[in-house]
Amino acid sequence: MHWTDTTHSYTLSTCKHLGRPCPAAEHMLSRLAAALGQARTVTADDFEVAGNCELTACDHPCQARFTANHERIRIYCGVSPEAEQSGLDRFADALFEGTRDRGFIAKRPEYPYALAQAVPLHPQTSRTAASQQSLSA
């Protein structure tokens, strides 16, 4: 599933358990995008928040990992807290960006049940946004 709003382009894969995009991941993705939008002018360009949570959209609650920064937000559904982040990123890059790096597939013991990603429509650094606000004041 793919859609855009005024700030981000969103993409969700199909969940292995639901057979459709996970509504809990969709909700979390949009909330993280809104939170990062509010934090943009008061955070550095390298600001990032990451963590683990449990998503409960169906009768199969799953552990999820998220990473959110001003360049992109990703949610990895159905992965353990110990899952290797670089492998998850490479898997998501292959899905969302079409990279041809297939060498990681044989090395990945844990695949996400579903993936979600949001990318800003108009990337802008914190300093640039703050400068524009101070000019308009």
Instruction: Determine contact, residues 124/89, Cβ cutoff 8 Å.
Output: no
Q: Are 1 and 21 in contact (CB under 8 A)?
A: yes
Q: Which domain holds residue 93?
A: 2-120
β-pairing verdict for 48-55 and 62-69: antiparallel
Residue 43 resides in a domain: yes
Residue 62 has pLDDT above 50, yes or no: yes
130: in domain: no
Confidence of residue 123 (pLDDT cuts 50, 70, 90): low
Write down the residue that tokens 């855009």 correspond to: 4
Task: Please state which of the ranges 38-42, 44-48, 119-123 shows the lowest mean pLDDT.
Answer: 119-123
Which pTM was predicted?
0.81
Segment 53-64 shows an average pLDDT of: 86
Q: What is the pLDDT of residue 53?
A: 92
Q: Give 137's pLDDT tier (boundaries 50, 70, 90).
A: very low
Q: How many structural domains is the chain composed of?
A: 1
Examine residue 105 and state whether it is found in any structural domain, yes or no.
Answer: yes
Identity of the residue numbered 46: D
